[in-house]
Amino acid sequence: MSHNNPKFEIIPLDKLFLDDQNPRLPKSLQGAKEKDILEYMLLDASLIELMLAIGKNDFFPGEQLLVIQEKEGIYRVIEGNRRLSAVKLLNYPDLVSVQKSKIQQATTEAQYFPKEIPCLIFDAEENIHNYLGYRHITGIKEWKLLEKARYLFGLWKDQYSSLDLNAASRELAKSIGSRKDYVKRILIGYQIFYKIEDDAFYRIPGLDDTTFYFNYIADSLNKPHIANYLGLDVKNIDDIDEITINDEHLENWTRWLFEKNSEGRTRLIGDSFHLNALNKVLSHNEARAAFIEKGYSLDLAIDLTDEADSQFYNYLNSALSQLQNSDRLVVKVNVRHAIVSEQLKEIRSLAVKINRSLQEKEEDEDDI
């Protein structure tokens, strides 16, 4: 049996087992018991809806599970763990101790309880990887970014770790239909994540591998001044095992994005706008010191850079656009003047104030 010719076979349900090393599972569940994995899938993967669909329509034979035979009569499902979980719970609802009422509803409404499952049997797990790489990383069934990173890192470790990082990234990119620089960033980013995870997420309340947003790392590595702050020169890294990270700065970065204050807010938001602002602040000595050492907010720190002019224009244009939209709708709405009069006065007052401030500033400059 070869990679190109997996064997199709109908396999009894009781011979199929979940993949306890599935990249979609958080690290805390890698190697866990079936009950724990099923309960995680129930709470995190909308499994009830899938149970209802299979119970109503039966198991679709065109969506075979991709499996490997671990020993005689034992098959591990590499692709299709959600579908296997749904079928298991339709047939054996007592496998779990959560969402019992919803499971009972799904089993009560079900017309089908599949016990013979169509599968494609591969001779080795790695023979499924290229297919899964395209399907889940750039294809039609995308994973979350941390799941992609975990999968790619495992693939690099198993098949390409003998190559330098650039060459390995190039080969991985070809196998999944992506770009080399993107793959390289993901691999480096996973090393950073592993460091954060190894340090117990700096004991930040509520932060673990299920609540961590890996895209914050991937996006930050694409900002040269943030990457430099972390001690990384992404373009010139060629050996993943020799990556050196500024531990103190990495902890700062993590706390800025994930540690919440008494009002439930983080110091930074991890979207593109705020990461670009942070990148600008870290490139400017005065703004950087104000943000890191003096505790300035990002907005106040950015004011110390020439980015303030650009922000002022952006805010002004945005406000004008919103007011123009309101003007367009005013003839259609049923809003009483008394309800919005204070807001309109505040808008006028702010416009007059901004206008006056700019005029006074120009007059002061002329006097000088």
Closest CA to 152 of 122, 129, 128, 181: 129
CA 49 to chain CA mean position, Å: 23
Could you give the CA distance from residue 284 to residue 276 in angstroms, rounded to a whole number? 13
Q: What does pTM read for this prediction?
A: 0.59
| pLDDT (0 to 100) of residue 124 | 87
**pLDDT per residue as tens digits for the range 269-279:** 999 889 999 99
Residue 6, classified by CB atoms within 10 Å of its CB into exposed (0-12), middle (13-18) or buried (19+), is buried
Closest CA to 292 of 248, 233, 262: 248
How do the domains of the chain map onto residue ranges? 7-124, 142-270, 334-367
CATH for 7-124, among 1.25.10, 3.90.1530, 3.40.630, 2.30.30?
3.90.1530
For the ranges 21-25, 44-48, 315-319, the one whose mean pLDDT is highest? 315-319
**pLDDT per residue as tens digits for the range 337-362:** 999 999 999 999 999 999 998 888 77
**pLDDT per residue as tens digits for the range 183-209:** 999 999 999 999 999 999 999 999 998
**pLDDT per residue as tens digits for the range 120-170:** 999 888 777 666 655 555 554 556 788 888 888 888 888 888 999 999 999
End-to-end CA distance of the chain: 85
pLDDT band at residue 252, thresholds of 50, 70 and 90?
very high
| pLDDT (0 to 100) of residue 176 | 72
Torsion sign across C-alpha atoms 25, 29, 35, 41:
negative
| pLDDT (0 to 100) of residue 154 | 84
